Chain A
Amino acid sequence: MNKKSFISVAITLALICLVWIILTPIFFPNTQADAVGTAPHRGFYAPVFSLNTPQGEAHSLSSYQDRPVLIFFWASHCSICKSVMPGLEAVYQDYAQQGFEILAINTTNQDHLSAAEAYFQSQGYTFTMLVDQDGSVSDQYQIHAVPTSVIVNPDGKISDLIIGSGISEGFLRAHLDTLFTKGGQ
């Protein structure tokens, strides 16, 4: 390619790209509004559910409106779950008064309820344990592995969905600090 044809090709390409940028908001107007549905993904409203504690007390996600909630899917045979839960308890102790709630959903269809309950009580956790007896809430949240952590902001939207050990005490503290002190998300 000689110099002149290179310049004309380059200018043509740049112009086509510029036109595409200008046309984008016309072809795909305000697609942000699309993400107001309910889905187990960052930016969407968290799917609502209602589950019982081992003692039979019902808890519904909708009753935690205007409060930050961590939905934590776990099983008693999961060593990573057990390694992060003490950190969650520490955060819960510090932030519960400000309205922070942890709903620790045991994936009971893949666990033994007695073993899960025994572990939970032996550790003296003070946050709420819920029993997903038939795995329907796990399905609703498309859980493929435990632990999976879903952080729900006061507006009911999912701000983070973390699979595995990424849900650390420090990460959660930083998130809540930002939420409570700056009032932002």
Chain B
Amino acid sequence: MFPMINIGPLAIQAAGFILLLSLFLGFYLTGKFSTNLGTHAEAIENGVLIGVIAGILGARLGFMLKNPSLLLNNPLNLLSLTPSMLDRSFGPLIGILAIIILAQKKHLPLWPTLDTMTPLFLLLYMGVHLANYANGNAYGTPTGLPWGISLWNATRHPVQVYAFLLGAALLLGLLIHTKMLKTTGFMRSGVLFNAAMAGIAMITLFTRAFTAEKRLLGRFDVYQLSAFALLLGALTLLYKRAYPDKQRISAIISMGSNVEPQVKFSQAEKILSEQFRIRRRSSIYQTEDVNQRPGVQPFLNRVLEIETALSFPELVTQLKAIEKQLGRIQGEKTRVALDLDILTYGDDVFFRADHHIPSPDLLKYRYLVMPLAEMSPDFRHPANGISIQEILYKITDQAQIIRINEVENGIKG
């Protein structure tokens, strides 16, 4: 038991301190993960902060609505700066609602955003249980086991510690799997979040058995039943995210060339249309070499949206084969027969040393953004939700670009 931490004359309640610490640590990890994955770190951090504030205000408002006489008696009660008069169900509801509204306003993509926030959720879960341990809440049933703790007249299961440690193990698993939040491999968006939720549900379901104060529904504990529902939901979503209907995946690829580009483009498109369904294509744009190397011919570029049943690594291999077939020489940077790059793959966000989807070039080069803005004016970045117009507005690349032909921007092939 360590309910107070004394720092000189300051006495801080350990439980509150632990919760703040877990929020802070979770914030740090989520920020780091967000930067690596390319999700909207700023919007996510602001969203969580605003959600916390809205949650506290909502909790106070809920308490006042349930006790209207207080408000009539003294309206200033609404703004009273005490950590009480908070309604525990209304508060979180308002907080979550605020976060959802903010996320919608910023067009944050659901699964990559939730994946990014997974370390925060896990740390908060751990923090809540450690805080309960610190103030003796949610204590365990009596036990004769040697690691039982003496609390409230009995030797009890340190059930809060069980939940904390299992939560820590889950976080450790996440850190190992993502190589310290540096990569997600080819794991599809949403898999990480739903796997973590399934883990949290199982930990809760397991540890609640050792909790003394149960909320019973018939013979069963309400928390265990809710955890079971959460587990079923998380496993279903996990399955849907991990094994999607492959036929439907649409990918945006870019095509570039500065050696007989018109010829290479028509040859490439012919091969592509034999292997994939081409949904849309942009006009062709001419641009100077972005690195301004002397003697390098200008490039032609265009983007296409294709529909594929191939997995991401298979698609990479396939496109490389087409590049080679049309005379691309590996390592040759100034004379490029044909360059085919994957810009987006469905709504997925992959981060690996050699592949980063959506391609980071999408936020860098005008020769990709301009054709994409023409082909899909309502495009939004799958990781951070930023619109193509905003990307175009923010881009710093000033290379000269000329649209050199018009094609029908419609469904072909």
Contacts and interface: CB of A to CB of B under 8 A. Distances in A.
Residue of A17, A32, A170, A178 with highest tally of chain B CB at under 10 A = A170
A37 interface: yes
A104 to B, nearest CB: 18
Contact of A28 (B66, B74, B141, B238): B141
Contact of A164 (B13, B142, B238): B13
Contacts of A164: 13, 83
- Interface of chain A: mostly helix, strand, loop or mixed: helix
Contacts of B4: 144-145
Contacts of A171: 82, 84-85
B213 A174 contact: no
Given A17-B202, A31-B214, A170-B85, 4 more contacts: A3-B243, A14-B228, A31-B141, A174-B67
B199 to A, nearest CB: 10
A44 interface: yes
B235 interface: yes
Given A21-B205, A24-B221, A35 B243 contact: no
Contact of B84 (A27, A35, A166, A177): A166
Interface string B73-108: 110010010111100000000000000000000000
A10 B229 CA distance: 14
Interface size class on chain B is: 35 or more
Contacts of B205: 17, 20-21
Interface of B: 3-4, 11, 13, 63, 66-67, 69-70, 73-74, 77, 80, 82-85, 136-137, 139, 141-142, 152-154, 198, 202, 205-206, 208-210, 212-214, 216, 219-221, 224-225, 227-228, 231-232, 235, 238-239, 242-243
A39 interface: yes
A170 B77 contact: yes
| A interface, size bucket | 35 or more
Contacts of A17: 202, 205-206, 227-228, 231
Contacts of B221: 21, 24
A6 B13 contact: no
Contacts of B216: 32
